[in-house]
Every structure is written in structure tokens, then in C-alpha cells.
Amino acid sequence: QVLLEESGGGSVQAGDSLRLACAASGRPLAGRDIGWFRQAPGKEREFVAVIRWSGGGAWLRDSVKGRFTISKDNARNTVYLEMNNLRPEDTAAYSCSASQRRVILSALRDPASYTYWGHGTQVTVSS
């Protein structure tokens, strides 16, 4: 089992920045993909970003490209989501997730591709 714990959420003004962290424990992350998803009230969960723990590769949803960055720290077993120039529409509960194994490219944005989930951290952006 992989245990995931998010941190770094908060309430900010539009244009501000936040850095979310997803700390993993339990089974190794090698060979897995680590994703960030978000869910706003009344809306479906949506893909934000994903990074391959092994072998490189990272992807972002179009609406956050140029503002968000996903990265990892192998030594700390942690994945980060750096969020800059935040907008009110970024308001949501952000959760990180881990797959059982490497996910095919076409399925990286599907929440069903991920087995382990953290409890989430709230990000609220005011205009």
C-alpha cells in the first residue's frame, strides 16, 4: 500500500502562489505515476498534473500550463505542485494519487488509472 499525505493548501488572493506537497510512504514509488487532481463543489474531479516517478515525463492540463509546475524529490519521496498566478477558478480540493504501475499515455488523465489517494488539501482563491 502507498500512503499519501497532501499539505500546502490555503486561502489566497488571485495572482498569489502556493506550493502543494504530496508526501508518500509505504511501498516504493518506483514505476508508478503520481498525479494531482482537483474537485470543486458541484463539479467532477479533474486532472491537473502528473509525473512519472521513474524514467521522467510530466504533463499538465492546458489551463494551468505556464502557471503550475509539477516536480519530485526522490530523497524525500515527495511530489510538489507549484502553483503561480492563481485564479478564482483554481479553487478546489486538490488530491494527489499514485498508480499501481506505469500508466499508458492515453490514460494518465483518468482518475480511474490511480489506486492510492490522499485526503486532499483545500485551495481557495479570492478575486
- The candidate with the shortest Cα–Cα distance to 113, out of 123, 105, 125, is 105
- Chunked into runs of 10 residues, the chain (127 residues) has average pLDDT values of 98 98 96 97 97 93 98 97 98 98 96 98 97
Per-residue model confidence (pLDDT) at position 74: 94
What pLDDT is recorded for position 1? 94
Q: Which one, of 120, 123, 77, 67, lies nearest residue 97 by Cα?
A: 120
Please tell me the predicted confidence (pLDDT) of residue 56.
Answer: 80
3-state secondary structure of 43: coil
At 33, list the grid cell. 505515476
